[in-house]
Amino acid sequence: MRENPSINSVVRKTVPARYVVTGPTLPFCTSATGTDGRQWVPVDCRCARDDIGWIIANKLEYLTPV
C-alpha cells in the first residue's frame, strides 16, 4: 500500500497475495488515476497519514457478496 496513488509514493505497508483489505467508508469507493497513468484503489491503512492507502487496481481480486 502506498501513501498516494503513484508508483513513486512512499510504501506504507507490504501485504501478501490473498490478503483481505477493505476500502474507506465513503458513500462509494472510487478509483483514481495516478501520476503513472494506472488506476489506484483506496484501502484502509492505519499506517498512512490520512488512514487511506492506495493499491494498483489490477493487483486486487474483488470478492463477490454471497
Per-residue pLDDT of the chain (66 residues; tens, 9 = 90+): 999 999 999 999 998 988 888 887 655 568 899 988 999 999 999 999 999 999 999 998 877 777
Domain boundaries, the chain: 1-60
Decide if 6 contacts 34 (C-beta within 8 A).
yes
E-assigned strands of the chain?
32-33, 39-44, 52-56
The predicted structure's pLDDT at residue 28 = 59
User: What's the CA gap between 54 and 4, in Å, rounded?
Assistant: 6
The predicted structure's pLDDT at residue 29 = 66
User: What's the CA gap between 48 and 54, in Å, rounded?
Assistant: 9
